[in-house]
Amino acid sequence: MNPFLELGIRHEVVNAISELGFEKPSPIQEKAIPVLLTGNDDFVGLAQTGTGKTAAFGLPLLEQLDFSQKHPQALVLCPTRELCLQIAKDLQNFAKYIDNVHVVAVYGGANISDQLRQIRRGVQIVVATPGRMLDIIGRNAIDFSNVKYVVLDEADEMLNMGFQEDINNILSETPDEKKTWLFSATMPREVRRIAQKYMNDPFELTVGTKNTGNANIEHHYYLIKAKDKYAAFKRIVDSNPDIFGIVFCRTKIETQDIAEALIKDGYNADSLHGDLSQQQRDKVMKRYRDRSLQLLIATDVAARGIDVNDVTHVINFSLPDEVENYTHRSGRTARAGKTGISLSLVNVKELSKIRHIEKIIGKPFEKKQVPQGAEVCEKQLFSIVKKIENVEVNDEQIAPFLPAIMENLESLSKEDIIKRFASLEFNRFLDYYKNAPDLNIEAREGSREDRGDRRDGRSREGSKGYTRLFMNLGSVDEFTRGDMLGFICNNANISGKSIGKIDLKGVFTFFEVQDAEVEKVFQGFQGVDYNGRQVRIEVSGEGRGEGRGGDRGRSRGARRDGGYRSDRGGRRDGGFSGERRDRGERRDRGGNGGGFRDFSGRRKESKSKY
């Protein structure tokens, strides 16, 4: 007997999920379904994405609802548009052979009238992101008085994105007697608090160890100099010719820079970040899903809810600010019982972060060596050989050309032909990796070269071609060097490559900027506020009693008219770029993709550095 039937799932649903390839329940399904089928309990399930959570709550929902009625009986809240669409689609697929099942996906960034129309027509299951849901509730366009089940999916993500208040407001619209089922990959205090506040002695289930990543994920790190990061990354990619990866960066500028560099270097890559319109985002995701892209370069926020199976590698090009995010990142691989690798490129200073993550995930990282040039070439060669071996030949189409081909290659032996075909691609790698240096370093903590944080190996103060600037924000404002880099680049609209050393102090920061870009920095920070403080930029040493002369000594941030230069393309209005005094904060409930906690703890749903 089919194990899902044994669990109590009806034939129609079992037939539908069999078609989807579900042969036996995943561990969370096996444990959760019997509990949820009783319909008597609140429920907390601690499980990673990719464990089969959707069916774990979706199949019991389909058993509990009355589809002869056309009012909302179940509400599923989730953090992102992608997840929202995915859940709605999964539920529809599971319910394929049940009559009169109506599921609506309600999310921001899409036409609200279509969603309202679907609701008016009658739905039993509403899958929603919190912002848009509240919007619809605010219009009195939905009646939740008959809701029996509320599912909070990826609760930790929703809280990370600042949806706490929205969730409170939505839940207050639903009847007290409803059952709440909460799923979360991690159980920080805030999620625990929600469980305590809204649930009645919930049944708790943990799949895998608490806060532990998926057992099928291997965690690797590579120890390198900061300046060699991109080269090391490329070697790793080149030595995994079949890689299908997500590369995580901390800022959107970084995602763009890396994607651009990769494209220039001939890789199938593109970036996904908060500046993209929904349409652009969908386009990138479609190309990734279709495998036209091999590498997706993303920020944490933009990658939330990405549900693509078969991701072979998660690459932490930059480690996340918040360790919890590491779990979310690595959860993008090893889905549906597959294996995957989460690898991190770190310098000596970041080793302590790796140790910290090890503690959180309860698993050691394996230190790996960046492959040497020769190893990469060997991997590529055998990949080419395998491709030649497996390529599908269309006999019919190639037939007319064969005589001419044969004639051209007549003088060559079989061995020569093989060598030449393989060399076609291989030569590129041989050329590139000729004389390639060893990029690995050993962990001598605090070693000189890694303490200085010199970007691209540039020297300290007064580097040739660079001007050292002063800014009145520093680590007390909760900036890390990476944040500061993003902050400067965002506001000045310059590439990270133009910035030299960043020396983050308590209440101020010194940073180097290529001489040619200095004016842009002054211009870019005119009228910019950060947390209510006007950002002030000066040339280091001037006006500070260190005397260097020149006309840049005076503070240049004093202008308050907030003049907005037209050549900036309006890319950086708000979010992490600091805020101009003449521009009020916009809180756009409709959006759902770009939310993040900014340094003052407010949620921003508009443009951000991510």
Of the pair 53, 604, the CB lying nearest ligand AMP is at 53
Identify the H or E element spanning 578: none
Q: How far is the CB of 4 from ligand AMP (least distance, A)?
A: 8
Of the pair 21, 569, the CB lying nearest ligand AMP is at 21
Q: Residues 475 to 534: which contact ligand AMP by CB under 6 A?
A: none
Binding of ligand AMP at residue 328 (CB under 6 A)?
no
Residue among 7, 9, 16, 22 that touches ligand AMP (CB under 6 A): 22
Binding of ligand AMP at residue 26 (CB under 6 A)?
yes
Alpha-carbon gap, residue 447 to 412, rounded angstroms: 55
Binding of ligand AMP at residue 219 (CB under 6 A)?
no
Instruction: Sort 140 into a burial class: Cβ within 10 Å, 0-12 / 13-18 / 19+.
Output: exposed
Q: How far is the CB of 97 from ligand AMP (least distance, A)?
A: 17
**Stretches 17-25, 34-42, 68-76, 591-599: which one binds ligand AMP (CB under 6 A)?**
17-25
Q: How far is the CB of 75 from ligand AMP (least distance, A)?
A: 18
Decide if 182 contacts 154 (C-beta within 8 A).
no
Comparing C-alpha atoms, which of 147, 176, 177 is closest to residue 77?
147
What are the tokens at 494? 């310059």
Of the pair 45, 557, the CB lying nearest ligand AMP is at 45
Residue among 13, 46, 54, 303 that touches ligand AMP (CB under 6 A): 54
How many angstroms separate the Cα of 160 from the Cα of each of 81, 166, 187, 358, 446? 15, 13, 12, 21, 33
What are the tokens at 538? 């000066």
Of the pair 55, 314, the CB lying nearest ligand AMP is at 55
Binding of ligand AMP at residue 55 (CB under 6 A)?
yes
Residue among 21, 400, 446, 532 that touches ligand AMP (CB under 6 A): 21
Decide if 156 contacts 32 (C-beta within 8 A).
no
Of the pair 45, 131, the CB lying nearest ligand AMP is at 45
Of the pair 51, 330, the CB lying nearest ligand AMP is at 51
Binding of ligand AMP at residue 29 (CB under 6 A)?
yes
Instruction: Count CA atoms within 13 Å of residue 528 on its CB side.
Output: 30
Residues sharing a CB contact under 8 Å with residue 486, sequence separation 6 or more, in sequence order: 250, 251, 252, 253, 254, 576, 609
| Residue 605 main-chain phi, psi, to 5 deg | -110, 0
Beta-sheet strands, E only, within 486-562: 499-504, 509-514, 528-530, 533-534, 537-539
Alpha-carbon gap, residue 330 to 360, rounded angstroms: 13
User: Over the Cα atoms of the chain, what is R_g?
Assistant: 27
Residue among 9, 13, 14, 25 that touches ligand AMP (CB under 6 A): 25
3-state secondary structure of 199: coil
Of the pair 55, 195, the CB lying nearest ligand AMP is at 55
Alpha-carbon gap, residue 254 to 242, rounded angstroms: 24
Alpha-carbon gap, residue 356 to 211, rounded angstroms: 13
**Stretches 25-33, 115-123, 415-423, 435-443: which one binds ligand AMP (CB under 6 A)?**
25-33
DSSP state, residue 305: T
Binding of ligand AMP at residue 332 (CB under 6 A)?
no
Of the pair 26, 523, the CB lying nearest ligand AMP is at 26
3-state secondary structure of 545: coil
Q: How far is the CB of 25 from ligand AMP (least distance, A)?
A: 5
Of the pair 213, 557, the CB lying nearest ligand AMP is at 213
Residue among 45, 50, 557, 591 that touches ligand AMP (CB under 6 A): 50
**Displacement of CA 605 from its chain's centroid (Å):** 16
Binding of ligand AMP at residue 53 (CB under 6 A)?
yes
Residue among 153, 157, 307, 477 that touches ligand AMP (CB under 6 A): 307
Of the pair 91, 253, the CB lying nearest ligand AMP is at 91
**Stretches 48-56, 267-275, 350-358, 510-518: which one binds ligand AMP (CB under 6 A)?**
48-56
Of the pair 51, 514, the CB lying nearest ligand AMP is at 51
Q: How far is the CB of 20 from ligand AMP (least distance, A)?
A: 6
Q: How far is the CB of 239 from ligand AMP (least distance, A)?
A: 28
Binding of ligand AMP at residue 336 (CB under 6 A)?
yes
**Stretches 19-27, 169-177, 181-189, 470-478: which one binds ligand AMP (CB under 6 A)?**
19-27
Residues sharing a CB contact under 8 Å with residue 588, sequence separation 6 or more, in sequence order: 108, 131, 605, 606
Count CB atoms within 10 A of the CB of residue 367: 15
Binding of ligand AMP at residue 309 (CB under 6 A)?
yes
Q: How far is the CB of 61 from ligand AMP (least distance, A)?
A: 13
Of the pair 154, 542, the CB lying nearest ligand AMP is at 154
Beta-sheet strands, E only, within 86-210: 103-106, 125-128, 149-152, 179-184, 203-206
Alpha-carbon gap, residue 223 to 444, rounded angstroms: 11
Binding of ligand AMP at residue 178 (CB under 6 A)?
no
Q: How far is the CB of 224 from ligand AMP (least distance, A)?
A: 33
Alpha-carbon gap, residue 346 to 354, rounded angstroms: 8
How many angstroms separate the Cα of 498 from the Cα of each of 225, 432, 521, 568? 19, 26, 11, 17
Q: How far is the CB of 161 from ligand AMP (least distance, A)?
A: 18
Q: How far is the CB of 185 from ligand AMP (least distance, A)?
A: 10
Q: How far is the CB of 93 from ligand AMP (least distance, A)?
A: 8
Residue among 335, 353, 481, 580 that touches ligand AMP (CB under 6 A): 335
Of the pair 20, 388, the CB lying nearest ligand AMP is at 20
- Any idea what the Cα angle at residue 112 is, between residues 107 and 115, rounded to 5°? 75
**Stretches 21-29, 134-142, 428-436, 474-482: which one binds ligand AMP (CB under 6 A)?**
21-29
Interface with ligand AMP: number of residues (CB under 6 A): 17
Of the pair 60, 274, the CB lying nearest ligand AMP is at 60
Decide if 590 contacts 131 (C-beta within 8 A).
yes
Q: Give one DSSP letter per residue of 358-417, joined into a string.
A: HHHHTSPPEEEPPPPHHHHHHHHHHHHHHHHHHPPP-HHHHGGGHHHHHHHHTTS-HHHH
Of the pair 94, 163, the CB lying nearest ligand AMP is at 94
Residue 172 is which amino acid? Answer: S
Report the interface residues with ligand AMP, using CB under 6 A: 20-22, 25-26, 29, 49-55, 307, 309, 335-336
